[in-house]
Amino acid sequence: MNVSITHELDLDGLGSQAIIQRYYTHYLKKNKSELILHYSHYTNFIDKIKIILEAKILPERLIISDMGFNDDFKKLYSLFKKSRERGCKIFWFDHHIIDIKHENELKRSLDLYLNDLNLCAAEIIKDYYLPEDLIAIKIAKFSRDIDFHTKKYNIASNLQSIIAYNRGYELDEVKKRIVNLMSNGIFENDWYTEQLRIVKNWEERQSDFALKHTQLIKIEGFGKLVISFGKIGGGRLCTLLKENYPVAKVFIGIDLRFNEITLRSDYINCRELARSFYGGGHKDRAGFRYEKIFMQENKIDQIFIRKIKDKILLYRT
Provide the 10 A C-beta neighbour count for residue 263. 29
* Tens-place pLDDT, residues 262-281: 999 999 999 999 999 989 88
* Confidence band, pLDDT 50/70/90 cuts, at residue 296: confident
pLDDT at 175: 98
Asked whether the beta carbons of 42 and 261 are under 8 A apart, the reply is no
167-221 pLDDT tens trace: 999 999 999 999 999 999 999 999 999 999 999 999 999 999 999 999 999 999 9
1, containing H or E segment: none
Binning pLDDT at 50, 70 and 90, where does residue 162 land? very high
Nearest to 13 by CA among 109, 96, 71: 96
**Per-residue confidence at 105, pLDDT binned at 50, 70, 90?**
very high
Strand order in the sheet with 223-230: 215-219, 223-230, 250-255, 260-264, 285-289, 280-281
Q: What domains can you pick out in the chain, each with its CATH number?
A: 2-188 (3.90.1640.30), 208-314 (3.10.310.30)
Q: Which residue has the higher pLDDT, 282 or 58?
A: 58
**Using 50, 70 and 90 to split pLDDT, how confident is the model at 297?**
confident
Query: What pTM value is reported for the model?
Result: 0.88
Mean of the per-residue pLDDT values of the chain: 95
For residues 122 and 16, the answer to whether their CB atoms sit within 8 Å is: yes
**What does the alpha-carbon distance between residue 73 and residue 83 come to, in Å, rounded to a whole number?**
16
The SS3 of residue 218 is strand
Look at residue 144 and tell me whether its pLDDT is greater than 90.
yes
Long-range contacts of 294-301 (CB under 8 A, 24+ apart): 298/213, 298/229, 300/215, 300/227, 300/229, 300/254
Are 63 and 93 spatial neighbours (Cβ–Cβ below 8 Å)?
A: yes
